[in-house]
Amino acid sequence: MTGNTFGENFKITTFGESHGKAIGVIVDGVPSNLTLSEEDIQRELDRRKPAQSFITSQRIEDDKVEILSGVFEGKTLGTPICMIVFNRNQRLEDYLDLKNKFRPGHADFTYFAKYGIYDYRGGGRASGRETLARVAAGAIAKKILEQKNIKIIGYTKSVFNIEAKKIDYNEIEKNPVRCPDKNAAKKIIKKIIEVQKLKDSVGGIVEVVVKNCPAGIGEPVFNKLDAMLAYAMLSIPSVKAFEIGTGFKCTTMFGSQQNDEFYYDRKLKRIKTKTNYSGGVLGGISTGEDIIFRIAVRPTSSIGKEQTTVDISGKEYEISIKGRHDPCICPRIIPVAEAMTAIVLVNLLKNA
């Protein structure tokens, strides 16, 4: 079993270390005759890039995507699309101090345990930078979904103990934390600045909503829509949990509360549920209601605060991670979560 391919009908294979020559992805299974340009991809990549505001990493990643194959005269050929971003602006000096020392909360140690070697220059494949390949692939998936009027909306539901009290989709892209509640956004920003000053980081919850997904999507019994989403979400660096619909809250509910009753909507001329506690999925198949799920985003592993660790020989060190890291990764994880959601949906829609 290899690890760098996801999906079967719309299959993405990513490559590249964070400080290697390039990061990229091959997307196989894209329908032919779809209009596609580098701008379509760049737009999504720009939503993920650092230094969008003062509260994200101040690295300048001048990430320009190039399409190397699969597009001819502005249209997809039906052949694999390779997209690539060359790595530039690498401050390798930030990493030399850390050579062979395992950063707490990072994958240095586990990669070394697994492979007997690792690229100590910034996380290699375990770096969040790998996710730009997913966002590029997701941009194509989103274009396919758009044709079916399916929309994916991700936002910061909470950071630390500050929760969005209302969900105004129009607000999301207006504030740097992508919070749909203007007031909560302000408080979150304040909190992040505070944490940043302490050379620390903080976690949060990202919620994703899928609009207009028709009923009938998902492949029981293993490739359930919610199982595939959980799989995709937990594959994103920093994500520690997934819940759909009521999620963990349903463990303190009764069946009579959690069950969504069916009714016939005369206007829409289709069967709907009165409530949506299931989050749009029953038995692993979409119900036609909004798909709603949440993921837990851990506080960024890279912190300036001193931490104790060991190097590959087991010798102890105090380390402090330099560089330009995000104190809270939620805003930048949103486009990644949306991309992986789009990729899951396109894979399952092909079977519908």
Instruction: Specify whether the CB–CB gap between 205 and 294 falls below 8 A.
Output: yes
Contacting a copy of itself within 319-338 (CB under 8 A):
none
183 contacts a copy of itself (rule: CB under 8 A): no
Distance of CA 268 to the CA centre of its chain: 33
299 contacts a copy of itself (rule: CB under 8 A): yes
Near a copy of itself by CB under 8 A: residue from 41, 172, 227, 337: 227
DSSP annotation of 145 reads H
Contacts of 3 (CB under 8 A, 6+ apart): none
Tell me how far apart the terminal alpha carbons of the chain are, to the nearest angstrom.
27
Q: Which of 18, 14, 13, 15 is nearest to 87 (CA)?
A: 18
Nearer Cβ to a copy of itself, position 170 or 316?
A: 316
Burial class (CB in 10 A: 0-12, 13-18, 19+), 325: buried
Nearer Cβ to a copy of itself, position 67 or 150?
A: 67
Stretch that binds a copy of itself, among 36-44, 47-55, 170-178, 302-310 (CB under 8 A): 302-310
Contacts of 239 (CB under 8 A, 6+ apart): 233, 295, 296, 297, 298, 333, 337
Stretch that binds a copy of itself, among 43-51, 135-143, 179-187, 277-285 (CB under 8 A): 277-285
Stretch that binds a copy of itself, among 35-43, 181-189, 308-316, 331-339 (CB under 8 A): 308-316
The structure tokens listed for 188 are 């979150």
Stretch that binds a copy of itself, among 36-44, 91-99, 168-176, 285-293 (CB under 8 A): 285-293
212 contacts a copy of itself (rule: CB under 8 A): no
5 contacts a copy of itself (rule: CB under 8 A): yes
Nearer Cβ to a copy of itself, position 119 or 170?
A: 119
23 contacts a copy of itself (rule: CB under 8 A): yes
Near a copy of itself by CB under 8 A: residue from 9, 35, 58, 183: 9
286 contacts a copy of itself (rule: CB under 8 A): yes
Q: What is the DSSP string of 6-53?
A: E-SSSEEEEE--TTSSEEEEEEE-PPTT-B--HHHHHHHHHHH-S-SS
Cβ 256 to a copy of itself shortest distance, Å: 5
Cβ 21 to a copy of itself shortest distance, Å: 5
Contacting a copy of itself within 237-276 (CB under 8 A):
237, 240-248, 250-264, 271, 273
Near a copy of itself by CB under 8 A: residue from 177, 303, 337, 342: 303
Q: How far apart are CA 265 and CA 262, in angstroms?
A: 9
Near a copy of itself by CB under 8 A: residue from 24, 154, 180, 331: 24
Contacting a copy of itself within 97-136 (CB under 8 A):
102, 104-107, 109-111, 113-119, 124-126, 130
CA separation, residue 289 to residues 154, 211, 214, 311, 327 (Å): 17, 8, 8, 51, 35
Q: How many residues bind a copy of itself (CB under 8 A)?
A: 147
Q: What is the DSSP string of 278-308?
A: T-SEETTEE-SSPEEEEEEEPPPS--SS-EE
Instruction: Specify whether the CB–CB gap between 32 and 77 falls below 8 A.
Output: yes
Cβ 22 to a copy of itself shortest distance, Å: 5
278 contacts a copy of itself (rule: CB under 8 A): yes
Nearer Cβ to a copy of itself, position 116 or 170?
A: 116
Q: Which of 16, 298, 301 is nearest to 130 (CA)?
A: 16
